[in-house]
Structure 1
Amino acid sequence: MITTEELRGHLVEHRIAGLVATPRQNNLGKYARFGRRDPDVLFGLDPEGEWTAADVLALMAERVGVSPDPAHLYGQDTIDPALTVAALDRLAAVLARTAASRGSVLLGTGHPQTLAGFHAALGEALRAAGCAVLTPAHPTPFAMHHGQQVEHCALEYRRRVGVVRVYEGASPSGAGASTEAAATAPGELSDPVHTHSPQPVRIALAALAAAGEPLPDLVIGDHGWTCGAGRLGVAAVGLADCNDPAVFVGEAEGEVEVAVPLDDGVWRGCYELLSAYVLQQAGMSQ
């Protein structure tokens, strides 16, 4: 059995919580950009509140455990491991509820190199409990926008977890290139890439609607997967770093059911104890 003390020690030892790698100036920069409604940090949300940079800092201090001091501008910042454990417990309760009702689930990650295994472990346990783990719109080419830049991508699934891959080499020219052109673009698809975009989950949900299929009972993800689903009224839970304020604002405004604060960029094996703990708390250990 994984105890709370063991989990908290693991979080601090591997800098998933406690003194984390994300620098304070990066956090404050993202909070300011959120206050300016920068689409790249909204992750698909359209917040109801005003959410100034000061408001975001206060929320992140409360829900993540970053320093509340606005004069702390540079250097180290923190994630409170007690808040991480409490959020993992809430996530476990959502999983247990979904498993009991044999609900349908959609999983996706914008951090495929680090978090895909965490999501996959939850998905495998839910499938074993009788839940349908959905993989809509596989594979679908699409154009992903980052400000003025466009990347031609494909939505795919690895171990039933949605990921994004980018067409490398020559690609259709111009921002107006069609998805059909992206599909036939010369060059090969990259390995799964890091993204904050809500487009992948929107594409997946739109494919379900177009096929006359019901939307999932739960989306498990991070970044745009969580916020994009929550904005569309789908129950969503997600992992989020201390420089990802959108997920916590979504939770505060009721569009995200659970936001778990943690550093999302450590070695992927470090998250195995976290997924095992969630499944243990949900009564779903395999």
Structure 2
Amino acid sequence: MTEPEFAEYLRESRICGRVATARENNIDHMHGFVAGNEHLEFGVRWTREWTYDKVFQLMAERVGTSDDPDFLEGVDTISAEKCIAALNEYAHIFGQTVADGGSLLFATGHPAGLFPIYAELARAAESAGAHIVRIQEGDRFLDGDLRQIMDVVMFEQYGNLQHTHFPGPMRLVLEQAGAPIPDLVVADHGMAGFAASAGLRTIGIADCNDPGLFVSAEQGQIEVAVPMDDNVTPHLYQPVIEFILTRAGLL
């Protein structure tokens, strides 16, 4: 699949283009990030001052959301071209770490959508000789605990894998006694934001209502934040997985 064909697929599947996330939700989350909302800051340590206007412009530049400040309601957008450019960088970093025989930690706060991407990347990485960091499962977080399924760390609560923006699960992982420091963290949401702010090499995926990771990238913390809808039905991500593995030299 050529990049123009892939871009068209991303738009058709609504991974990019006119995505499901509403404009009003994007605006609300930008305000929440600036206000220090615990669920929206993603564990990102600020190295400069951020205002709503600065975050608004950053999201237009890095994600492709509308740069019209008077557009307050409706369907917002993610640029397929910006997504592909970021995916190329993501794949390069991932592929180089695997080629070097490095260690990787995979984690997600979006198990219903992004989990299959990381599971496939972990399988390919280990098959190619890289090392997967495995955690001590069961550390308590809120009313749940940490699980690692198919080499992907997630947060479980009341018997369900949880969608979470909190950085706490990654904090617990990195605090585990004797835990190896990964050469690369492959994650999203607060898992990625906290790891990057802790100084670990990190690559991530973020939706257009997730300004934290794009701020992290702008500050030089997370190495790349890929803009895409993070909760389409999982089978739609298969071409994304294939794109990453091909560009990483693993397919």
Identify the TM-score tier after normalising by the shorter chain.
over 0.9
Contact 1:11 1:17 in 2 (8 A): yes
Encode CA deviations 1:157-200: one digit per residue, 9 max, x unaligned.
11100111113xxxxxxxxxxxxxxxxxxxxxx22110011111
Shift of 1:137: 2.3
Structure 1 residues 36-45 or 21-30, which shifts more? 36-45
- Looking at structure 1, the residues matched to 113 and 34 of structure 2 have their Cα atoms a distance apart, in angstroms, of 28
- 1:32 CA displacement: 0.9
Residue 40 in structure 1 maps to residue 31 in structure 2: no
Structure 1: how far apart are the matches of 2:136 and 2:163? 19
1:224-259 per-residue CA deviation (whole Å, 9 max, x = no partner) reads 111010011111111100000000000000110110
Alpha-carbon shift at residue 129 of structure 1 (Å) = 1.4
Q: Distance in 2 between matches of 1:259 and 1:67?
A: 18
Shift of 1:139: 2.5
Contact 1:136 1:205 in 2 (8 A): no
Distance 1:191 1:34 in 2: 27
Residue equivalent to 2:228? 262
Partner of 1:42: helix, strand, or coil? coil
SS in 1 for 2:205: strand
Cα contact 2:133–2:180 (8 A) shared by 1: no
1:199 aligned partner: 168
* Correspondence list, 1:1-286, <5 A: 2-143=1-142, 152-167=143-158, 190-207=159-176, 210-211=177-178, 213-285=179-251
* SS of match in other structure, 2:160: coil
Matched residue SS, 1:30 = helix
Aligned-partner residue type, residue 62 of structure 1:
E
C-alpha distance in structure 1 between counterparts of 2:231 and 2:141, whole Å? 26
1:239 match: secondary structure: strand
Higher Rg of the two aligned structures: 1
* CA–CA separation in structure 1 for the residues paired with 2:56 and 2:136: 37
Structure 1 residue ranges (4+ consecutive) displaced by more than 6 angstroms after TM superposition? none
Amino acid at match of 2:26: N
Letter in 1 for 2:93: V
SS in 2 for 1:88: helix
Larger CA deviation: 27-36 vs 244-253: 27-36
**3-state SS in 1 of match to 2:147:** strand
User: Sequence identity, in percent?
Assistant: 39
For residue 123 of structure 1, report the CA deviation from its aligned partner.
0.9
Q: Which consecutive unaligned segments of at least 5 residues does structure 2 have?
A: none
Q: TM-score, normalised by structure 2?
A: 0.97
Q: Distance in 2 between matches of 1:10 and 1:29?
A: 29
Looking at structure 2, the residues matched to 109 and 274 of structure 1 have their Cα atoms a distance apart, in angstroms, of 16
Query: In the alignment, is the contact (CA less than 8 A) between 2:135 and 2:148 conserved in 1?
Result: no
Distance in 2 between residues matched to 1:88 and 1:45, nearest whole Å: 21
Q: Distance in 2 between matches of 1:137 and 1:34?
A: 31
1:20-61 Cα offsets, whole Å, 9 max, x none, are 111111101111111112221111112122111110010000
CA distance in 1, matches of 2:122, 2:41: 26
Q: Which one-letter code corresponds to 1:91 in the other structure? A: Y
Q: Which runs of 5+ in 1 are unaligned?
A: 144-151, 168-189
